[in-house]
Structure 1
Amino acid sequence: MSLIEFLPYVIALGIAAAIPGPGIAASVGKALGSGFRPAFYFMNGLVLGDLTYLTFAVLGLSAIAALFSGFFVVVKFAGAAYLLWLAWNFWRAGIDPEKMHAGQGAGFLSSFTAGFSVTMGNPKTIIFYMALLPSVIDLTTVTLQSYLILAVLTVIVLYLVVIPYIALASRARAFLRNPRALRLLNRGAATAMASAAAFIVIREG
């Protein structure tokens, strides 16, 4: 594949990633509630989820994925449940500024796993890689080299789209220090995460 043939994929992925969905909402909520670093961990989980679906699509595993649809349903609800748990903690953590910096669920593993679960259960991601991707890339011509290029492009595009969201959200968090502002900020984060969880559960696919 020539480099120009990757351009439709980059454009389509950039548009799909930039459209606010559960991944963006949860990332912003994580940044508002815990700061940039945990949100960055979370975002890397999202990226791994995208790479997983890209791999499924390239290897022609859509049919196998359909056979294991029950597993993805479990992942979907597990991711939504985790977001709701975070939403509950952030909703309650606004009165004491110290609680804000405690960052429940802000460690690498918990944040990364949550991001991965959100992507694996995100209908928008599933539809993009399993239905839309074949319309912009001829998957029958993908070699190991072109797959690696697609993977690198996926990481770059997602970083370029998501990092500004979490950077702005964490910056807004840094400017709000008094207990009242922190309470409002944490409840905003809780609302974003709860909305992302609801979107994941309600949407079919």
Structure 2
Amino acid sequence: MTLHTALSFFLALFIFGITPGPGVFAVLGRALASGAGACVGLSLGMVVSDMLYLLFACLGLAAIASQWGEVFTVIRWAGAAYLIYLGVRLWRAPVVTDAPVAISRRDQAAGFVQGFLISASNPKVILFYMAFLPTFMDLSALDALDVILALGLSLVALMLALMSIALGAARARRLLSTPRAAQRLNRGAGSIMIGAGVFLATRR
């Protein structure tokens, strides 16, 4: 992989990462409710799922994975239900105007699972990689180092994209310090997560 190809691939993945969708809305909702730190596990879960899709495409397994329609449907519904559940919890959460508390490892692990479900439940992601990768590299000519480099670039680009969104949302959260604003923020973040869950459940 040449330097030009690597930079183009990185930029394209970053743009893909900030494109609105269930994952971006989930990060936005969580950052508004709990701060950017709460989004690390969530973002990493989505990125790991995307990296698996990327690996499948590199190894020529995408056609097989695209046939697992029933499995994707079950995962999609599970991810959608969890997003809606979290959104309802945010709607009912007590008003807190202080800085967000530290996020435990358990919370980050739960966020990782949620993020993985959100990304893994969308079979169109693997179709994106199937159409996307050949524009940057000849998949039949990839060696192990090329695959490792592609995975590393995807990890950095997608995490940078998602955490940029989280940091922006967390900064907006800090500007709203009154109880009334905090309540609206909770309900707005809850609505975003419920909407992301509904969108995930109803898309094909």
Q: TM-score, normalised by structure 1?
A: 0.88
Question: Which sits farther off after the overlay, 60-69 or 44-53?
Answer: 60-69
| 1:186 aligns to 2:159 (yes or no) | no
Give 1:15's aligned residue.
15
Cα deviation, residue 197, structure 1: 1.5
- 2:10–2:153 contact (8 Å) kept in structure 1: yes
Give 1:174's aligned residue.
174
Matches within 5 A, 1:118-133: 118-122=118-122, 125-133=125-133
Label 1:123 to 1:196 Cα distance change in 2 as closer, same or farther (>3 A): farther
CA distance in 2, matches of 1:4, 1:93: 48
Cα deviation, residue 181, structure 1: 1.3
Runs of 4+ in 1 over 3 A off after TM superposition: 94-98, 100-104
Secondary structure of the corresponding residue to residue 172 of structure 2:
helix
Label 1:154 to 1:124 Cα distance change in 2 as closer, same or farther (>3 A): same
| 1:69 aligns to 2:57 (yes or no) | no
| 1:46 aligns to 2:46 (yes or no) | yes
For structure 2, list consecutive stretches of 5 or more residues without a partner in the other structure. none
CA distance in 1, matches of 2:50, 2:193: 20
- 1:33–1:103 contact (8 Å) kept in structure 2: no
| 1:135 aligns to 2:152 (yes or no) | no
- 1:79–1:121 contact (8 Å) kept in structure 2: yes
- 2:45–2:111 contact (8 Å) kept in structure 1: yes
Give 1:117's aligned residue.
117
Give 2:60's aligned residue.
60
Identity over the aligned pairs, expressed in percent?
38
Label 1:2 to 1:101 Cα distance change in 2 as closer, same or farther (>3 A): closer
Q: CA-atom RMSD, angstroms?
A: 2.4
Cα deviation, residue 142, structure 1: 1.5
- 2:173–2:185 contact (8 Å) kept in structure 1: yes
**How big is each residue's C-alpha offset from its partner over 1:37-81, in whole Å with a ceiling of 9 and x where there is no partner?**
221111111111111111111111112212322111111111111
Cα deviation, residue 94, structure 1: 4.5
CA distance in 2, matches of 1:148, 1:101: 36
Cα deviation, residue 179, structure 1: 2.2
Give 2:147's aligned residue.
147
- 1:86–1:193 contact (8 Å) kept in structure 2: yes
Cα deviation, residue 186, structure 1: 0.8
Cα deviation, residue 174, structure 1: 2.6
For structure 1, list consecutive stretches of 5 or more residues without a partner in the other structure. none
CA distance in 1, matches of 2:97, 2:108: 22
Question: Which sits farther off after the overlay, 131-140 or 64-73?
Answer: 131-140
Cα deviation, residue 103, structure 1: 7.8
CA distance in 2, matches of 1:127, 1:149: 21
Q: TM-score, normalised by structure 2?
A: 0.88
Label 1:136 to 1:202 Cα distance change in 2 as closer, same or farther (>3 A): farther
**How big is each residue's C-alpha offset from its partner over 1:160-200, in whole Å with a ceiling of 9 and x where there is no partner?**
21212101111222333332111100111112112221222
CA distance in 2, matches of 1:102, 1:81: 26
